[in-house]
Amino acid sequence: MDIESPVHQSPSPVPQGAPHLPSDVSSDLSQSDDELSENRTTPADIAGNFSLVHRAWILNRVRFHAQKVCEVFSPPRVTLAAHRAGHTADFAFDITYNGWDALDATMRIELRQIIREMRPTLLVLSPPCTMFSPLTRMWNRDKWTPEEYAMRREAAECMFDYALDLAADMELVGRGFVLEHPAPASSWERPKAQALLATPNIRATNFDQCATGLLSPSGAPMKKRTKLLSNVGPIHTLFAQRQCSCVTQHRTIQGSEWGVQLSTWAQRYPDPMCNLIVQAAAQWAD
């Protein structure tokens, strides 16, 4: 599907009054993260409705504050880990966080332009994976009509292909990206994914999330075999070492525990995984 084709339309973002920029911003892009830290905002500062975030303010922010990490299809997780490590990382975009809606063609186009101008050291992409899971199809075979299934599938393909387009943009300008999806997901067979995998600088690495701290609510390890597509060498070096070595039994990611749906629970990156991604970005940039 052409990513510029709307799956559904909603009104264009409506600019509101731009927040004030720090008065002492300079145009010196060589400033380090430390030097910029006094002017640092936090991801929480820009939470709210994406359509109400003034685009000019975002662009001014990224012009003067080199971003170590930016996340798409995720609330601030790796972004927060980057903050904890002392880097400037102000932006995450997700419908559950600031209303950025990947199924809104206008928002897709606008964010793609923002990220092109932002040029973060590392762009972290976490498109929804549910519709590419064979188990999901099996469990919902009787619940969804063929039309509903086709609609959900089209939306998932639109979002995955959009993530690949953002990844290709980063590769084109020599910036890093990492795209995360379950290793067994059928999405990896999509033509755009195969095209990126055939690019010399881009590789994929599989790892187990139990080796990066994924635990059920009761503390049992959950394996979740995951694939990372990236043009950042340290991503592959660091995550290739994160293979399951559990001596206790895994908790299957199915059903619920303590009232928590485990499939939803397991979508949240564990902190050690976020920290490792930031470490890779820092190593790569040095």
Binding site for Zn ion (CB under 5 A): 210, 221, 223, 244, 246
Smaller CB separation from Zn ion, 211 or 282? 211
Smaller CB separation from Zn ion, 61 or 251? 251
Closest approach of Zn ion to the CB of residue 77, in Å: 21
Smaller CB separation from Zn ion, 160 or 239? 239
Smaller CB separation from Zn ion, 221 or 270? 221
Closest approach of Zn ion to the CB of residue 211, in Å: 6
* Pairing of the two strands 69-72 and 122-125: parallel
Closest approach of Zn ion to the CB of residue 238, in Å: 17
Smaller CB separation from Zn ion, 210 or 274? 210
Closest approach of Zn ion to the CB of residue 244, in Å: 3
Smaller CB separation from Zn ion, 81 or 210? 210
Closest approach of Zn ion to the CB of residue 222, in Å: 8
Closest approach of Zn ion to the CB of residue 50, in Å: 37
Between the two ends of the chain, the Cα-to-Cα distance in Å is: 38
Give the whole-angstrom CA distance, residue 50 versus residue 57. 12
Closest approach of Zn ion to the CB of residue 256, in Å: 20
Smaller CB separation from Zn ion, 213 or 233? 213
Angle at 183 between CA 181 and CA 186, to 5 degrees: 80
Please give, one letter per residue, the 3-state secondary structure of the chain.
CCCCCCCECCCCCCCCCCCCCCCCCCCCCCCCHHHHHHHCCCHHHHCCCHHHCCHHHHHHHHHHCCCCEEEECCCCCHHHHHHHCCCCCCEEECCCCCCCCCCEHHHHHHHHHHHHHHCCCEEEECCCCHHHCHHHHHHCCCCCCHHHHHHHHHHHHHHHHHHHHHHHHHHHCCCEEEEEEECCCHHHHCHHHHHHHCCCCCEEEEEEHHHHCCECCCCCECCCEEEEEECCHHHHHHHHCCCCCCCCCCCCCCCEECCEEHHHHCCCCCHHHHHHHHHHHHHHHC
Closest approach of Zn ion to the CB of residue 270, in Å: 12
For residue 255, the tally of other CB atoms under 10 A from its CB is 9
Smaller CB separation from Zn ion, 137 or 223? 223
* 253 in Cβ contact with 263 (< 8 Å): yes
